[in-house]
Structure 1
């Protein structure tokens, strides 16, 4: 599959799991091939593969930015109102089902995914010509790197590419110097 994607014979499949942190799209670790490889091996065993990409961010919903966080606050409030009015439960982020890693991480991001997807809808409703091509966010994950540290062993920046046309250059990271 890796070579088929690298040679343009097939496209990435968008991830659309209920727990995907940043909504539907193709996911990348920003500047961390080692972390991507570790995750791929954990998820896919011997079939694991990592593909690097140069990505044009396009119109990026960057959650490290204050305005994006404000949009998320508005989207959350609107979503809660909608769910309460329809007698539906508000999703909750949950820890790993096999108790892997730090139990405080809540790596199954059911709530975050729904809020981000709702934010994308709200933005589109208010500005029909606006489409976010990518979603970018820092995440704390894992146990502290050292006692008392705010740095975690798996902290990373995650990038969700919603517009696959912005994957401008794919490469095999094992072949890069």
Structure 2
């Protein structure tokens, strides 16, 4: 591992949820549920928008309407698989090639990413990341096999989403950095972002 990878950095993340879930988690009467959907592109864990309260709030309102909530968290990234980094992308390429070979030997086809099932947002977005999830899971399994004492605590990745911010722009309205926290011990401080300020 190259010494200059993204690790032991503290960031702020925002988790969209219902107001009821927010209240329970902030009061300590409940903990985050690990998301484990087939389309969760960074694999199982707790998902946060890095440094983007407004995006978390928008998502929560889309999902929960007037009963939406957002939880803020100070997150120690620990040992982070950062997909904005060339090292991580090289690992994903290897994982994809190995997975493709294994599936081909078993006469199985690989999954593909798909757009939103209800045609929400930009139809070019592939928000259901079935392919990316299996490749990430495969990469994490290989990593665990090769270095069982050096597991990844978090996965961090850029996500391009939405329509262009202005005509001709490569920036999209919902572009963001997504964090998947696999080790909940690194959620070092939870807070209500609507009460900060």
* Category of TM-score, reference length = shorter chain: over 0.9
Deviates more, 1:39-48 or 1:58-67: 39-48
Shift of 1:149: 0.6
Q: TM-score normalised to the size of structure 1?
A: 0.97
Shift of 1:45: 2.2
Matched, 1:43 2:63: yes
Rounded Cα–Cα distance in structure 1 between residues aligned with 2:187 and 2:23? 16
Shift of 1:46: 2.9
Q: Is there any run of 5+ residues in structure 2 with no aligned partner, and where?
A: 1-20
The correspondence for 2:173, drawn from 153, 164, 174, is 153
Shift of 1:129: 1.1
Between structures 1 and 2, the one with greater strand share: 2
Larger RCO, structures 1/2 (Cα 8 Å, 6+ apart): 1
Secondary structure of 1:116 counterpart: helix
Matched, 1:69 2:89: yes
Matched, 1:26 2:46: yes
Matched, 1:85 2:105: yes
Q: TM-score normalised to the size of structure 2?
A: 0.88
Deviations 1:79-138 (A, max 9, x none): 111111122220000000000111111100000011001100011111111110000001
Q: Is there any run of 5+ residues in structure 1 with no aligned partner, and where?
A: none
Give the superposed CA RMSD.
0.8
Deviates more, 1:151-160 or 1:3-12: 3-12
Secondary structure of 1:137 counterpart: strand
How many residues align? The count is 177
Matched, 1:174 2:181: no
